[in-house]
Amino acid sequence: MAILTRLTRTPATSWLSLRKQLFSSPRRHAALIRRGMASGHPETTRLDFLVIGGGSGGLAGARRASELGASAAVIESHRLGGTCVNVGCVPKKVMWNAAVHAEYLHDHSDYGFEVGSVRFSWEALKAKRDAYISHLNRIYHNNLDKAKVQNIQGHARFTNDPEPTVEVNGRKYTAPHILIATGGQPTVLSNADIPGGNLGITSDGFFELETLPKRTVIVGAGYIAVEMAGILSTLGSKTSMIIRQSGVLRNFDSFISTNCTKELQNSGVDLWKNSQVKSVCKAEGGLEVTVVTKDPERKNDEEKTSTIQEVDCLLWAIGREPNTSGLNVAAAGLEMDERGHIVVDEFQNTSRPGIYAVGDVCGKALLTPVAIAAGRKLAHRLFEGKKDSKLDYSSIPTVVFSHPPIGTVGLTEEEAIRARGKENVKVYKTSFTPMYHAITSRKSQCIMKLVCEGKEEKVVGLHMQGLGCDEMLQGFAVAIKMGATKADFDKTVAIHPTSSEEFVTMR
């Protein structure tokens, strides 16, 4: 036990070399563990780094810590990979790819191809998608084994022990450094919230659908609702979106919000603006969704009640919540915000020394690469002595896989004006038809905006929607992270003919 105590207190700069000396053989490592277990805590396993949650952030942090010489373990109750791999980014992108294929089918004749009847099989796509996800799950398991990170299957729960400890399947685990990376989950409505609310599914349930719904109603206006609506509608489901206000993606730049709302409507999505679901009930032909609509601009008008009938898929996409249920965070004494997220500082420290949190459970920048980067930065700080290692949360690029896709990085025009004043903000924007659509009957616009700040016109925001914007964003995000100005964009020679050249030719 004394050896273990000295190990955890050794300066991080010599962590790797010391571990090689102490744990040069499996027998010596096991002896150290048994000695720790025998000195007053026979049921407790001790490690250097204990991670709760086998999603993107937790796995990245654990593997990097192990590379740096720490003994690490990951506790996960479900499949490895978390939301992103199992019910998020990855399977969603597969479905979006399929929807893009469906879009291109409409353009074949315009490009000279004569195609006959084309049949889409949701069942075949789902089988291939699920097999791919299972393959990724196996890769994650193998990667943990290769990195010598222990995989503990089960639910973790903090105990009331003096030092931070969790219990899994009746066994206790502790470490000088414990990372919470449990992610988030979709907000679920019950019958108490809305009569019949439990008749709907969430984005998790979307990936369990065995067949393509004929009639879909999606409730919500965020990026998950937009992506789900685009996929289902494009693949052939008659789709309605119920949104509380007049547009979708209200937290994005207004230029993007307005255009995305228009693109959804142009693609055939039935948009119910200024509306809310009042109740849901089962009927012979499917679900009946009762909707209340009231235009805020017409204050004297009464609420209008309507019913959408024969609905076979009602999808709630109304937000996400931190996944802390059953974790017993109260026993750990962690500070939480009003929505239940774990409060952390810029170094991912919680209010309890030795306990950290990364990813969606913190409620900030809910993106897979953010959790991965934060987990790795934390590992370098704890086990490599890089005391200033932390993630910079500014100018994080993100893509919405709508139809067409959206790319955005940095401040919106509205945010820039609030931060610097309207007189210090200059905006450049354009809207055009991409060359791909020059000869197609189906049309889709591409819009672009640069938000610049100060006399030097530093580019602090870049926003776009159109064909290829998803793959276009990463390079521009690097330039903005490096502090590029409008003049730097102007000095760059355009690539012709592309949509991206518009960003370096704006006036």
- CA dist 490 to 461, 462, 486, Å? 16, 15, 6
Cα 348 from Cα 343, distance rounded (Å): 9
Cα 346 from Cα 353, distance rounded (Å): 14
Cα 427 from Cα 462, distance rounded (Å): 10
Which amino acid is present at 385?
A: G
Cα 492 from Cα 31, distance rounded (Å): 62
Dihedral sign from CA coordinates of 174, 180, 183, 188: positive
Catalytic residue among 135, 341, 403, 496: 496
Cα 165 from Cα 144, distance rounded (Å): 22
Q: Give the position of tokens 């039935």.
A: 270
Cα 211 from Cα 124, distance rounded (Å): 10
Q: Are strands 398-400 and 406-410 parallel, antiparallel or unpaired?
A: antiparallel
CA angle 234, 396, 349 (to 5 degrees): 120
CB-neighbour burial class of residue 433 (10 A; exposed 0-12, middle 13-18, buried 19+): middle
Assess contact for 70 and 174: CB atoms under 8 A.
Answer: no
Can you read off the two tokens belonging to residue 251? 């937290």
Active site residue 496: yes
E-assigned strands of 198-336?
A: 215-219, 238-242, 270-272, 275-283, 286-293, 304-311, 313-316, 320-322
Cα 351 from Cα 333, distance rounded (Å): 8
Q: Which of 343, 200, 159, 195 is nearest to 279 (CA)?
A: 195
Cα 76 from Cα 331, distance rounded (Å): 20
Angle between helices 368-383 and 56-67 (to 10 degrees): 30
Cα 369 from Cα 391, distance rounded (Å): 11
Cα 51 from Cα 72, distance rounded (Å): 8
Q: Which residues of 234-248 are buried (b: 16+ CB within 10 A; e: fewer)?
A: bbebbbbbbbeebbb
Catalytic positions are: 496
